[in-house]
């Protein structure tokens, strides 16, 4: 298969597996999505989805959030990890949203990246999922699969994002990044990976990745 045929194969399989795409982080508007994505850094979606209802019961908008102290926010979000930094970020960005944007979340990546504790990936998720603007946020699953499938060098997430945007049609970016995340979790995990269940990698995967996999498997048997 040529590179473009491999890309088409991956897209087709992902669309077959995930015609309806669940959104990993529960939210009701751009602000609650922004907070949920910020909280998910070095945590899990499951844990974040357990904590956000507790936080949003107290404050689900920037005006109510700034009425809480950083310490109060920190107490609620402690289970997701990195709570000192995240609580300051949540309080700080809420204040800025009120002062600069009348309490609204901006829909431009560059403006979002100016907010405390908001990096490129968080900003990309927000514009993609809250505003429907094409973006390709790269998480660990996407980074791993783009390498396994031979679509990127695996050098860094910046390169992976660049390659994803070059290879995939722009109108599919918002669906594809979520489909790849779900596929990575279910069929192509970092640990406990069984290539026989991973149809895409088994069919189009990077030769060296597959060779290394079978070498390790044979050594264990």
Which residue spans of the chain are classified as CATH 1.10.340.30? 30-131
pLDDT score for 145: 98
Asked if 116 contacts 93 with a C-beta cutoff of 8 angstroms, the reply is yes
Say if residue 135 is exposed, middle or buried (CB neighbours under 10 Å; 0-12, 13-18, 19+).
buried
Contact 94, 55 (CB under 8 A): no
Span 159-184, pLDDT tens digits: 999 999 999 999 999 999 999 999 99
Question: Which residues are part of the catalytic machinery?
Answer: 121, 139
| Phi, psi dihedrals of residue 205, rounded to the nearest 5° | -60, 155
Q: 212 pLDDT band (50/70/90 cuts)?
A: very high
Torsion of CA 49, 69, 116, 162, to 10 degrees: 0
pLDDT at 217: 85
- In the structure encoding, which two tokens stand for residue 39, read together? 């909280």
CATH 2.60.120.260 fits 3-20+137-220, yes or no: no
The 10s digit of each residue's pLDDT in 33-51 is 999 999 999 999 999 999 9
pLDDT tens for residues 49-60?
999 999 999 999
Question: How far is residue 39's CA from residue 24's CA, in Å, rounded to a whole number?
Answer: 13
Nearest CA to 30 out of 143, 168, 133 is that of 133
Enter the CATH code of domain 30-131: 1.10.340.30
- Quick: pLDDT tens for 134-159: 999 999 999 999 999 999 999 999 99
Q: Where in the chain is the domain with CATH 1.10.1670.10?
A: 3-20+137-220
Q: Is the pLDDT of residue 218 over 90?
A: no
Q: pLDDT category, 197, cuts 50, 70, 90?
A: very high
Measured over the CA atoms of residue 36, residue 62, residue 87 and residue 79, the dihedral's sign is negative
Helix, coil or strand: residue 153: coil
């Amino acid at each position: 298969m040529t590179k473009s045929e491999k890309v088409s194969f991956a897209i087709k399989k992902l669309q077959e597996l995930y015609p309806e795409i669940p959104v990993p982080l529960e939210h009701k508007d751009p602000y609650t999505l922004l907070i949920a994505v910020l909280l998910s850094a070095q945590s899990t979606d499951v844990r974040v989805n357990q904590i956000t209802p507790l936080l949003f019961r107290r404050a689900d908008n920037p005006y109510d959030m700034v009425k809480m102290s950083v310490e109060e926010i920190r107490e609620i979000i402690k289970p997701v990890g990195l709570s000192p930094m995240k609580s300051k970020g949540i309080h700080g960005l809420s204040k800025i949203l009120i002062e600069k944007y009348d309490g609204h979340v901006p829909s431009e990546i560059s403006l979002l990246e100016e907010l405390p504790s908001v990096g490129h990936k968080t900003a990309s998720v927000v514009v993609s999922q809250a505003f429907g603007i094409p973006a390709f946020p790269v998480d660990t699953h996407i980074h791993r699969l783009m390498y396994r499938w031979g679509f990127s060098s695996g050098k860094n997430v910046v390169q992976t994002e660049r390659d994803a945007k070059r290879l995939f049609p722009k109108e599919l970016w918002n669906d594809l990044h979520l489909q790849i995340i779900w596929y990575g979790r279910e069929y192509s995990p970092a640990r406990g990976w069984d290539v026989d269940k991973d149809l895409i990698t088994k069919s189009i995967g990077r030769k060296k990745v597959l060779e290394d996999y079978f070498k390790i498997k044979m050594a264990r048997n």
